Amino acid sequence: MAGFFAWRGRHLPPPVVALLMAPFFMLIVFAFLYPILSLLSLSVTEPQPGLGNYAKIVENPLYATVLMRTLWIAVVVTVCSLLLAFPLAMAMAQARGAMALLLTACVLLPFWSSVLVRTAAWSVLLQRNGIVNGLLQWVGLTSEPVRLLYTEGAVVIAMTHVLMPFMVLPIYGALRNIPPDYGRAAAICGAGPIRRFFEVTFPLALPGVMGGAILVFLTALGYFITPALLGSPKEQMIATLISQQLREFLDWPFAAALVGVLTVFVTAITLAFSKVFRFDRMMGGQL
Amino acid sequence: MIAEAASPARTSDSATGARVSIRGLGKSYGSVTAVTDVSMDIESGEFVALLGPSGSGKTTVLMMLAGFELPTGGEILIDGRDCTRLPPQKRDIGMVFQHYSLFPHMNVRDNVAFPLKMRGIGAAERRRRADAALEVVRLGGYGDRSPKQLSGGQQQRVALARAIVYEPKLLLMDEPLSALDKNLREEMQLEIKRLHSELGITIVFVTHDQGEALTMADRVAVLRDGKIQQLSPSRELYERPANLFAASFVGEMNLIPGQWDGATITLASGDSLVPPPQAFPQPVAPGAALLAFRPERLALAPAGTPGALPATVREVVYAGADTLIIAAMPDGTEIRARVPSAGSRDIAGGTAIALVCPPDAMLVYAGGAA
């Protein structure tokens, strides 16, 4: 991670910078800005000009519920990812040689298979006669199969699994950037392992935590496949709702309005984050 | 009979520095040995430098003193307490690191107060003592700044304040000045010396800079390949190095090969010298030997002076206060002399000179080439 950002600090002439960034900006403009702006314009022009579509969202409490649920699941997934990712990132940052390679491979390996495959795997594991239910009964926690699939728990577990690498990598980067002398300095000052963690390691890893949290949280907000496959209509998230409007009801203007609401939320949250934590510090993990 | 309240016996002496006793300390990583059988006793309030080239084990010894590395042999006693396996946070030692290691997410005062916070001292008392420690290192009023806003020298003084704020009896320093430029380094050397005499604290200081070791320390331990080569007061180390390694590592030294017959040493150039008995830090058997003397102990004399070593000047290097004369003896052996610049104006390459080596400057070591 650190090596990737080692480019910073080297100054390139502005035309070269512009040239290097051109492909990215073209992609952003044609594949992101243009479609989303035309979609958003649809939401205020069809069927009649005005905010009718947005009024519809406000009038029906279902949409607010779905939006709140989406935010809730995204928060839960972010917190679960953080709790699982931090110890792993610490182990990775401390590991050397073959162990470091193995851990990195374990984190990156899931990227080699598609999200669909990983989600399908969870539906196999969590089904009525699946391994998890079998285990629960064998241990004696339940006497008969429990409903695991099509629950909020299933959605959260699978999304956490899929999104966790995005949390691990920035935290790992931040931890790797902490010079080992900081821990030693804290120790010789009288701090035991727990206080070293809370007084030094965690505060210094915070930029990585924030970077990972925003990646996971924003991705989770717009997540589609996992809630669609592992959740029931009760676990419907906003992305599934939008897709439903598009594909089943062919109500493009209303779907566009939902996209508009989601966009406003994502933008607001992103701005709030970047107000507190400067973005440029997040990925490099430097304070 | 009058019952008298037993007055507690004063067992501890009034000195504030710790006594450190290192016995047979060893450290190996697998098959690689970093430190072998290092033993030394450091008196209360003493300033000891560990000097050696990189890989000599000096830093490993310090890491074991601090508790960051566990020895694979031997023991470390601090004020009589066995600290060999004690974790660093329980040793009550102050330490200054090479790269300052100030916590970047805390301001200067919180950095200095950190050891006090770890010892459960209240916020007001912490603040008072941290500010007092900053006064001691002449950084009063810098408490609210971020470490990044300070220069390297100021950061190292903050690190020093953090290391002494809880009044430890032992202070470890791991090449604390190597990241500073020359002027700042000399200023900090004096600053640390001043603190040492003010606080009476025991200091163990690691450096690869022999000038720094000689300037600052009461005693210097020269290490090589994980072993102590010599442990002696600075003056003795410089003037009477115990062996060839110490002689060639500390300061400049002429090492002229010759033959020792038990009474005189005959150099390849044919010159014979009679070293006094004190020229032998270790007994030297007759045979191949090396005559050693410091360049600044040589005196310049006109060519042909009896008893002096004849030589031809090759190069003259002016260095301000003194001038280095690199000359060749008749057989081609290089000999260096450092003479005051004031009297060496007319020396140039090719000049025939003679160099007088006073007997008390001579040292003889066994062996061939250095």
Q: Which domains does chain A have, with CATH numbers?
A: 73-284 (1.10.3720.10)
Residue B359 structure tokens: 């007997």
Q: Could you tell me which of B341, B241, B337 has the C-alpha nearest to residue B298?
A: B337
SS3 category, A159: helix
**Where do you find CATH 3.40.50.300 in chain B?**
20-239
Q: Is the pTM of this model over 0.90?
A: no
> Percent of chain A at pLDDT above 90?
36
Mean pLDDT of A89-99: 91
A182 at interface of B, judged by CB pairs closer than 8 A: yes
Q: Three-class SS string for B186-216?
A: HHHHHHHHHHHHHHCCEEEEEECCHHHHHHH
C-alpha to C-alpha distance for B255 and A197, rounded to whole angstroms: 54
Q: What is the ipTM of this complex?
A: 0.82
Is the CB of B92 less than 8 angstroms away from the CB of A190? yes
Residue B6 has what DSSP assignment? P
Q: Any idea which fold B252-366 has?
A: OB fold (Dihydrolipoamide Acetyltransferase, E2P) (2.40.50)
pLDDT at B304: 85
Judged against a pLDDT cut of 50, whether residue A120 lies above it is answered with yes
pLDDT at B8: 37
Write out chain A residues lying below 8 Å of B104, CB-based: 204, 287
**Where do you find CATH 2.40.50.140 in chain B?**
252-366
Could you give the strand order of the β-sheet that contains B73-78, starting from the edge strand earlier in sequence?
B32-42, B20-29, B73-78, B81-82
Q: Any idea which fold B20-239 has?
A: Rossmann fold (3.40.50)
Helix (H) or strand (E) holding B227: strand B227-233
Residue A39 structure tokens: 């979609």
pLDDT at A132: 86
What torsion do the CA atoms of B293, B296, B302, B307 make, to the nearest 10 degrees? -30
pLDDT at A280: 52
The 10s digit of each residue's pLDDT in B146-196 is: 999 999 889 999 999 999 999 999 999 999 998 888 888 888 898 899 999
> Chain-wide mean pLDDT for chain A?
86
pLDDT at A285: 41
The 10s digit of each residue's pLDDT in A50-78 is: 888 898 888 988 888 998 999 999 999 99
The 10s digit of each residue's pLDDT in B212-245 is: 999 999 999 999 999 999 999 999 999 999 999 9
pLDDT at B15: 53
> Chain-wide mean pLDDT for chain B?
90
Which of B116, B118, B162 to probe by mutation at the A interface, max A CB count within 10 Å? B118
Is the CB of A287 less than 8 angstroms away from the CB of B104? yes
Judged against a pLDDT cut of 70, whether residue A3 lies above it is answered with no
**Cβ distance A232 to A151 under 8 Å?**
yes
Helix (H) or strand (E) holding B37: strand B32-42
pLDDT at A8: 55
Mean pLDDT of B267-283: 89
Q: Which residue stretches of B119-181 are H helix?
A: 123-136, 152-164
**Residue labelled with tokens 């006090």:** B116
Which of B91, B101, B111, B204 to probe by mutation at the A interface, max A CB count within 10 Å? B101
Q: Name B328's bridge partners.
A: B312, B334
For chain B, state the CA radius of gyration.
25
pLDDT at B106: 94
A202 at interface of B, judged by CB pairs closer than 8 A: no
